[in-house]
Amino acid sequence: MTGTAGRSLRVAIVGGGVAGALLAWRTVRAPGGASVAVFTEGAGGRPDASRVSGGLVRGFEPTVAAAGPAAESLAEIRASDVLREWSGYRETGALYVLPGDAAVREPADIVDAYLPGSAEVVGRDKVAGAFPFRELPADCVAVLERYAGHISPHRLRTAALAAAAQAGVTVHEAPVDAVTRDPAVRTADGRTLRYDRVVVAAGAWTPALLARSGLPVAGLRTKQIQYSLCAAPLAGLGPFVDENSGLYGRPHEGGCFLLGLPSDRWGVDPDAVTADLALAERLADSARRVFGVTVAVEHTVASSDCYHDLAGLELRSLGPGLHTFTGGSGGAAKTVVGASRKAAAALLA
164 in helix, strand or coil?
helix
Q: Per DSSP, which regions of 146-244 are E strands?
A: 149-150, 170-173, 176-180, 184-187, 192-194, 197-200, 220-231, 240-242
Give the domain extent around 212.
1-55+152-218+311-349
Total tally of structural domains belonging to the chain: 1
Amino acid at 286: S
**Residue 226 contacts residue 236 (beta carbons within 8 Å):** no
In Å, how far are 82, 108, 110, 126, 138 from 60, measured between CA atoms?
Answer: 23, 6, 8, 18, 22
Cα gap 285→292, rounded to integer Å: 10
The H-or-E segment that residue 308 falls in is strand 296-308
In DSSP terms, 315 is beta-bridged to 325
pTM: 0.94
Query: pLDDT confidence of 207, banded at 50, 70, 90?
Result: very high
pLDDT in tens, 62-71: 999 999 999 9
CATH number of domain containing 164 = 3.50.50.60
Q: What is the Cβ-side half-sphere exposure of residue 306, based on CA atoms within 13 angstroms?
A: 29
d(CA 248, CA 192): 44
Q: Is residue 137 part of a domain?
A: no
The answer to the question of residue 75 being in a domain is: no
pLDDT in the model for residue 42: 59
What residues have CB less than 8 Å from 175, skipping those under 6 apart? 41, 187, 188
The verdict on residue 349 lying in a domain is yes
With respect to residue 27, please indicate whether it lies within any of the assigned structural domains: yes
Q: What's the whole-number average pLDDT of the chain?
A: 93
